[in-house]
Amino acid sequence: MSLAIFDLDNTLLGGDSDYLWGRFLVAQGLVDGAHYERENQRYYDEYKAGTLDIYEFLAFSLRPLAEHPLAQLNVWRERFMAEKIAPLMLPAATALLDEHRRAGHTLLIITATNRFVTEPIAHALGVEHLLATDPELSEGRYTGQVAGTPCFREGKVVRLQAWLAASGHNLAGSWFYSDSHNDLPLLELVPNPVAVDPDDTLRSHAAMKGWPIISLR
């Protein structure tokens, strides 16, 4: 059964859930507003430029998870889903997922954004399989550290290959949809790479390679 693999932020969603979670924390007064807003924007700009130090960013972005009990975090996340994520759901993305379901493909979301933020989004999209950056949990609380390999750039390939080995799937006939040049290591690996509302770097690369370029906006 072929895999249909999807990036999440700015691909299946009309925005970036990681960046918006940071802005949500600021709006709720849960972090030092001006400093956090400034750093959140800086890391987002570095991500788009392809210069992000993922471990430095995770030390920043996972810290708030360690500062509050999981039950309270879940309450805030539910509000975040309703206020920030629901408006970003794209009908064309839903239609694309449905098209692959009808074809009998196995759907998988693979995202650098941490699992705490993305798990309910994958659930809302009806996608069972999710590979995301995993925040470390210890005794029912987040530690602020990352568990295992961050699901970013080449790390997406590492995480996917481990998942393939564990699940018995393979990349024969597979698809991967992404908006970002940060995903080129995985886009180069699959038989059917598709650029979705791509950034300028990915758009140029896709055009050079003859990859499909589509919009879900």
Cα separation, 157 vs 55, in Å, equals 17
Options 9, 16, 18, 183, the catalytic residue: 9
Cα separation, 7 vs 30, in Å, equals 28
Whether 9 sits among the annotated catalytic residues: the reply is yes
Cα separation, 65 vs 83, in Å, equals 19
Options 7, 18, 197, 199, the catalytic residue: 7
- Is the distance from CB of 43 to CB of 52 less than 8 angstroms? yes
CA distances from 79 to 21, 147, 205 (A): 11, 26, 38
Tokens, residue 28: 């709720």
- Is the distance from CB of 217 to CB of 11 less than 8 angstroms? no
CA 156 to chain centre: 10
Instruction: For the beta carbon of residue 105, count every other beta carbon within 10 angstroms.
Output: 18
Q: Side chain identity at 185, as an amino acid letter?
A: P
Among candidates 177, 127, 131, 128, which has minimal Cα distance to 156? 131
Cα separation, 153 vs 163, in Å, equals 16
**Burial, 129: exposed, middle or buried (Cβ in 10 Å; 0-12, 13-18, 19+)?**
middle
Whether 7 sits among the annotated catalytic residues: the reply is yes
Active site residues: 7, 9
